[in-house]
Amino acid sequence: MKFFVDTADVAAIAELNALGMVDGVTTNPSLILKSGRDILEVTKEICGIVSGPVSAEVVSLKADEMIAEGRKLAKIAPNIAVKVPLTWDGLKACKTLSDEGHMVNVTLCFSANQALLAAKAGATFISPFVGRLDDINLDGMELIADIRTIYDNYDFRTQILAASIRTVNHAAECARIGADVMTAPPDVIRKLASHPLTDAGLAQFMKDWEKTGQKIL
Ligand code: G3P
């Protein structure tokens, strides 16, 4: 499973990228706001750090305006994936932009039928939002599994980009189901390394090592 980082925080992206943990980046208007940066400038900087797909989201609601924004965003770098919302206009923009050879990430997906439409419109990525479904007492992970089954049934090439990943359990479950990509905030990716038994085991080893009175260096 590929790891995308869900942030426009350049320092956090660079740190994780140096560890080989970053296969791509996703941003959205809320993350741009959080960064306090200009969308074009920060996206260009991110594309200079990460060689994989970097999603940059359009902000118009009409297809023709989304297409114009998408073309402008795609000029930032060859690894831009234009992010469009899962509306009828967004699907039209997806079809046009993907026919032009751009990577397209269709976002705000909350149902299997929406994912089916995005695949038919030529999406490179579909972004089902796991955490936001859990927030309203639905099962976000069930949606990932349903989309996996449907895409495999018909051999759709659209990649399942599990988004709104909030917990380490979300990440493990996505990998078990076979999501192609998960995008998670930097702190969730860092937490994947944590386990209380690792901490306890290491503390015991350190205590015992001290008692040996030895040194390696
Ligand atoms: O990639 C989508 C993501 O940014 C949404 O996450 O936690 O705001 O639902 P969240």
pLDDT, tens digit, 9 for 90 and up, residues 105-118? 999 999 999 999 99
Question: pLDDT grade, residue 77 (50/70/90)?
Answer: very high
At residue 192 the predicted structure's pLDDT band, cuts being 50, 70 and 90, is: very high
Q: What is the pLDDT of residue 16?
A: 98
Say which CATH topology domain 2-212 has.
Answer: TIM Barrel (3.20.20)
> Which residue's alpha carbon is at the smallest distance from atom 1 of ligand 1?
163
CA distance 45 to 66: 22
User: Distance from the CA of 108 to the center of ligand 1, in angstroms?
Assistant: 9
> Measuring from atom 10 of ligand 1, which residue has the nearest CA?
164
Q: Where are the domains of the chain?
A: 2-212
Contact 27 CB / ligand 1 (< 6 Å): no
163 Cβ below 6 A of ligand 1: yes
209 Cα to the center of ligand 1, angstroms: 44
* 164-181 residue pLDDT tens: 999 999 999 999 999 999
Count of CB atoms within 10 A of residue 13's CB? 21
pTM of the model: 0.96
Tell me the angle at which helices 39-49 and 10-18 cross, rounded to the nearest 10 degrees: 10
Q: How far is the CA of 141 from the centre of ligand 1 (A)?
A: 15
